[in-house]
Amino acid sequence: MRVLVTGGRGFIGSHVCDALRAAGHEAVPLGRADGDLAEEGVAERLVEAHRPDAVVHLAAAMPGDERLAQNAPITALVAAACAARGIPLFHGSTTSVYADETPYAESKRASEAAAGDATMLRFHFPYGPGQRRGAIPTMLRQALAGEAVVVYRGWERSFCFVRDAAEAVALLVERGERGAWDIGRDDDRRSLHEVARLACSAAGAAEELIAVVEPPPGPTPVLASLDIAPLRALGWAPQVALEDGMRRTLEWLRGSV
């Protein structure tokens, strides 16, 4: 099958394309150079030009991006283009939609509402090669530079290696699954302090670099409870341990400098 992947040259999207190809499918990555999805008619033109069997919509503004408000309108345009041609849409979302009150979570809730009957792919803290923002690459860069590795007191996370997450997406697309799916790890919850220690160990840095600080004011991200049982029932399970995934991420960071 031919799968169009918006944001296909980005962090998650590039790995989803790799996973689709590994499963024997044709993945067509789309980036900003292919057209601005915020403009009327661009999504329709791209879908018409490539005539995919499915679309995975991963193009989105991330936390802190001034374009967050564009997430929902862009999703609506992509969804309309797919609906007009009867093409299944798989929409990249986040488990932050469950309880977070952050601007990013609000934008993703609005995007889900705009996605119509799309299959929801709710990612939970993916990390790995290709990620330039986020807790793990930030900690690794700080440790490599001998800078303070800053973590927020009391915060916990359950990280999922991006290749594992991408393989889950490929499986759902291949099977044509509908509904909403949590994609992450439900078996490896860690404090950020522990993750920082792993980052220092991987980078060969002293743990004395770790600085535990109070969380910033404002809405606190909520660590949602995942329901991975439906994915496990399809035969999916995360394969890459945090320690190994952090080592692979570090290798990528060193090679990308």
pLDDT at site 257: 58
pLDDT at site 88: 98
User: Which residue has 């979302």 as its token pair?
Assistant: 93
pLDDT at residue 209 greater than cutoff 70: yes
For 241-257, the pLDDT digits (tens) are: 999 999 999 999 998 75
What is the average pLDDT across 141-148?
97
Which band of pLDDT confidence, cut at 50, 70 and 90, is reported for residue 103? confident
Which band of pLDDT confidence, cut at 50, 70 and 90, is reported for residue 67? confident
Count of residues making up the chain: 257
pLDDT at residue 222 greater than cutoff 70: no
Which residue segments constitute the domains of the chain, with CATH numbers given? 2-256 (3.40.50.720)
pLDDT at residue 92 greater than cutoff 70: yes
Give the pairing of strands 210-213 and 149-152.
Answer: parallel
What integer best gives the mean pLDDT of the chain? 94
Which band of pLDDT confidence, cut at 50, 70 and 90, is reported for residue 105? confident
With 0-12 / 13-18 / 19 or more C-beta atoms within 10 angstroms meaning exposed / middle / buried, residue 239 is exposed
33: tokens are: 């150079």
3-state helix/strand/coil string of the chain: CEEEEECCCCHHHHHHHHHHHHCCCEEEEECHHHCCCCCCCHHHHHHHHHCCCEEEECCCCCCCCCCHHHHHHHHHHHHHHHHHHCCCEEEEEEHHHCCCCCHHHHHHHHHHHHCCCCEEEEECCEECCCCCCCHHHHHHHHHHCCCCEEEECCCEECCEEHHHHHHHHHHHHHHCCCCEEEECCCCCCEEHHHHHHHHHHHHCCCHHHEEEECCCCCCCCCCCCCCCHHHHHCCCCCCCCHHHHHHHHHHHHHHHC
pLDDT at site 74: 96
Which band of pLDDT confidence, cut at 50, 70 and 90, is reported for residue 101? confident
Q: What percent of the chain has pLDDT over 90?
A: 84
pLDDT at site 66: 74
pLDDT at residue 223 greater than cutoff 80: no
pLDDT at site 221: 62
pLDDT at site 9: 96
What is the average pLDDT across 68-79?
93
pLDDT at site 207: 96
Which band of pLDDT confidence, cut at 50, 70 and 90, is reported for residue 102? confident
Which band of pLDDT confidence, cut at 50, 70 and 90, is reported for residue 201? very high
pLDDT at site 93: 96
For 4-40, the pLDDT digits (tens) are: 999 999 999 999 999 999 999 999 999 999 999 999 9
pLDDT at site 75: 97
Q: What percent of the chain has pLDDT over 70?
A: 97
